Structure 1
Amino acid sequence: MAVLLDNPVRSYAWGSPTVIPELLGRAPSGQPEAELWVGAHPGSPSTVVGDGRPLSALIEADPAATLGAAVVGRFGPRLPFLLKVLAVERPLSIQVHPTIEQAAEGYDAEDAAGLALDDPRRSYHDRNHKPEMAVAVTPFDALVGFDDPAAVAASLEQCEHTDLVGAAAVLRESDGLERLVRRWLTLDDAAAAQIVTALTAEASARRDDPRFALVHRLAEVYPHDRGLLLALLLRHHTLAPGEAVFVPAGVPHAYLSGVAVEPQASSDNTLRAGLTPKHVDAPEVLRILRYEPHGAVAVRPVPAGPGLERYPVDGIDELGLSRVRLTAGTAVPVPGPLLVLVVEGAAAVDGVTLARGRAAFVPAAESGATLTGDGVAFTLTTALDQAR
């Protein structure tokens, strides 16, 4: 039968102190609570209500019954996906995620360098890739992918500082975006501080330009951070509730505000490029960064039955996300392996009751499981199983 889960919350400075406690129906902790993790990643696994075992241990005890032959054959005896709730009150770092080949190379290189898994200089915590999607629960602001270099150049050409006008000229060239990013991320600290100071002054004076208004907003949170230079080059997206964006490997992005559900491959590999007090690994960012403009992929939900919408992503076998609007008398099939998270109202799956904010795991052996109730839930399985 389905298994009720307790799910860990990660506290980061950018998180909201109230959103996740409200979702879970408990008092705030007084700390920013940024991410609710639902899954079996070893960094923060969900646990089974009743016996306290990590979900990973339940799966390892009988992979065939919990995951099914197809998933074990494709991904091995581990849950290949992870579902999060993001509660973003302050902008996150600008970051990129690796391909699976880059992740293996980076993990092995950091092992060889003697970096422990909890070393703050470490970027690779596993050998997996981290394709991810953000589905807005509230209006959700994000920077995803590079903007059109010509559009950025047109804004920079109106600047007074010679370095910024010079950057516009570089952007007009065929390989200018890559050359400018490499220059800005490898400047020595003194040179970077000089141009960041010029940019923040320009942004303060030109808040009628949306591009500079955004830089001004970010500078209030991250003054003197060279990530402001990179933010200037990125494309701003505002998602309405239910809208989604997929972030491929190598695409720079930063989530700015709002609440979203984030399905992803089960990984914690993040390469930070700026807007953070944490470790920035510029050489590794430059190794995996992709420079084509408009790297974000809009994902439009597709009706798949009464109250059921799917969010298809081509070529990513780990992600089979659906949003379910439940009404009395409706039963939606949810064959496992599958995670289900209720975000509004209440639901029941295979005899397990889920209040708002609660989640469950449906094993592959429960091929006839159904979801009922009155509310809204997200379900996550593999694209292999969703296609059945």
Structure 2
Amino acid sequence: MRRLNCPVQNYAWGKRGSDSMVAKLKTLENEGFETEEGKMYAELWMGTHPNGPSRVMPEAGDFVEGAEEGHAGIFLIELLETHPHYLGDLEKLGDLPFMFKVLSINKALSIQAHPDKKLAERLYATRPDLYKDDNHKPEMAVALSDFEGLCGFRPFEEIVFNLHRYPELRGLVSLSAMRAMCSLPEDLEERRDALRKLFHSYITAKPEVVTTQVKALVQRLGSRVDESGFSSDGSVDHTDDEEIDLEDIYGEGYEHKEKGEMFLRRLRAEDYYVQDLMRRLSDEYPGDIGIMMPLLLNYMRMGEGESFFMAANEPHAYLKGDIMEVIKLDLHGWIWSLI
């Protein structure tokens, strides 16, 4: 086993100085590395990507150029080209088909979704300058500390509940999109169409409408006073403080009472945290439409060692914490998905 000298990426959303897991790991890896307390350390890359290739740390007995004491070492890709058998069953590829990244996140990253196989093939055929391969793009990550993220759309009934509960969200979308969602279609394809219509209406809302509705929501959220919630003056009421009749939300004759109550329990449990998150997103990105995304996407709060998978076509965003991510690469070594 050989130690690697891995490059660090500095982005504005990273954690500052020694608070960053990236900086801590880099210091453990390289005793000569000096952490600058005023710099943001966002990512540590482990692999052969040309924008940040790892080097192999020299060891005693290395008789190759670059192995002298104090040298950074040869690039990992050079070692694999010289010793392709190190790749085992992947020897024919001539390179690693994946890359590891450690991310230290202090500020929310943008929402994105990666295409499925059919869409990837179409995008690659029509825009090869932007899409470097025709493969789908699932991702996997493990939390290295307490971590927050958004991943995948909420269950249909939860989104309908939030449409009723938050007038600002209703104010962002079209009436036809509202009707499609609130009709609670039973057919799965009809639900997908309704969700697609809602999301398109949401992300294409006019800037002046976004400004008005986001401002109204932030004002209603109020100011946070402690870890338990928000100040009562002008803030949104919480679901654990009120009686909720499911038929008021889902209509008379709603037949899935047990499922509805299950969703309501989840919404009650995370209510403070979601409102807290929206307030924090407002501080980080004032006036941005993404502030309401936690009402549409599943909000994950994870502890160290827990993991999650992001399938193709699932919108997701990293919000806060430290994770290790594995990213699949194409045969030319270009990254499929950049955070």
Range class of TM-score, shorter chain: 0.5 to 0.7
Give the Cα–Cα distance (whole angstroms) in 1 for the partners of residues 144 and 292 of structure 2: 29
Provide the alpha-carbon RMSD of the alignment: 2.9
1:54 is aligned to 2:75: yes
Question: Compared with structure 1, are the counterparts of its residues 34 and 126 closer, same or farther at alpha carbon in structure 2 (3 Å cutoff)?
Answer: farther
Q: 1:43 aligns with which of 19, 43, 51?
A: 51
Alignment of 1:113-132 (within 5 A): 124=131, 129-132=136-139
Q: Deviations over 1:176-224 (max 9, x none)?
A: 2211101122334334434433443444432744333322221111122
1:158 is aligned to 2:177: no
8 Å CA contact retained: 1:15, 1:33: yes
8 Å CA contact retained: 2:162, 2:295: no
Give the Cα–Cα distance (whole angstroms) in 2 for the partners of residues 271 and 3 of structure 1: 27
- Aligned partner of 1:11: which letter? N
Q: 2:100 aligns with which of 64, 74, 83?
A: 83
Structure 1: tracts of 5 or more residues without a match: 113-121, 273-388
TM-score in terms of structure 2 length: 0.66
8 Å CA contact retained: 1:153, 1:169: no
Q: Deviations over 1:42-70 (max 9, x none)?
A: 2321122243432223223443x1212x3
Give the Cα–Cα distance (whole angstroms) in 1 for the partners of residues 326 and 149 of structure 2: 16
Give the Cα–Cα distance (whole angstroms) in 1 for the partners of residues 80 and 10 of structure 2: 27
8 Å CA contact retained: 2:146, 2:322: yes
8 Å CA contact retained: 2:178, 2:198: no
Partner of 1:326: none
1:269 is aligned to 2:339: no
1:24 is aligned to 2:34: no
- Aligned partner of 2:208: which letter? A
Partner of 1:4: 3
Alignment of 1:89-238 (within 5 A): 89-99=106-116, 102-103=119-120, 105-107=122-124, 109-111=126-128, 124=131, 129-161=136-168, 163=171, 169-173=179-183, 174=191, 175-204=193-222, 205-206=235-236, 208=238, 209-210=271-272, 211-238=274-301
Question: Compared with structure 1, are the counterparts of its residues 33 and 4 closer, same or farther at alpha carbon in structure 2 (3 Å cutoff)?
Answer: same
Structure 2: tracts of 5 or more residues without a match: 28-32, 59-65, 67-72, 184-190, 223-234, 239-270
Give the Cα–Cα distance (whole angstroms) in 2 for the partners of residues 81 and 239 of structure 1: 24
Question: Compared with structure 1, are the counterparts of its residues 160 and 252 closer, same or farther at alpha carbon in structure 2 (3 Å cutoff)?
Answer: closer
CA drift at 1:33: 0.8
Give the Cα–Cα distance (whole angstroms) in 2 for the partners of residues 193 and 171 of structure 1: 24
Partner of 1:366: none
Question: Compared with structure 1, are the counterparts of its residues 237 and 144 closer, same or farther at alpha carbon in structure 2 (3 Å cutoff)?
Answer: same
Q: Deviations over 1:118-150 (max 9, x none)?
A: xxxx5x466654422221111111111111232
Tell me the secondary structure at the aligned position of residue 301 of structure 2. strand
Tell me the secondary structure at the aligned position of residue 13 of structure 1. coil
Question: Compared with structure 1, are the counterparts of its residues 129 and 62 closer, same or farther at alpha carbon in structure 2 (3 Å cutoff)?
Answer: farther
TM-score in terms of structure 1 length: 0.58
Question: More deviation in 41-50 or 198-207?
Answer: 198-207
8 Å CA contact retained: 1:91, 1:256: yes
Higher strand share: 1
Of structures 1 and 2, the one with the larger relative CO (CA 8 A, separation 6+) is 2
Higher helix share: 2
Give the Cα–Cα distance (whole angstroms) in 2 for the partners of residues 207 and 133 of structure 1: 36
